[in-house]
Structure 1
Amino acid sequence: MRTVDFHTGGEPFRIVPEPPVELRGATVAERRVFAMGDPGADGLRRLLCFEPRGHADMYGGFITPPDAASVGLRIVPEHHQELIALGREIKWALDADPVARHPTDERLSGVYGTILYEHLGTTDDGALHQRNVTIFADGELDRSPCGSGTAARVATLTASAELASGQTLVHDSIVGSRFTAVATAGPDGTVVPVISGMAYPTGEHTFIVDPGDPLTPGFVLR
Structure 2
Amino acid sequence: MSADEVSGTSGRDRPVVTGIREAILSGEFVPNQRLVEADLSERFAASRASVRAALLELTNEGLIERVQNRGARVRAVPLEEAIEISEVRMVVEGLCAAKAAHRVTEAESGELQDIGESMRQAVSSGDVLGYSRLNERLHRRIREISGQRTAATVLERLRAQNVRHQFRLAMHPGRSAVSLPEHLAIIDAIRANDADAAERAARAHLRSVIQTLPEAAQNPAERGPAR
| TM-score normalised to structure 1 length | 0.27
**Higher share in helix:** 2
| TM-score normalised to structure 2 length | 0.27
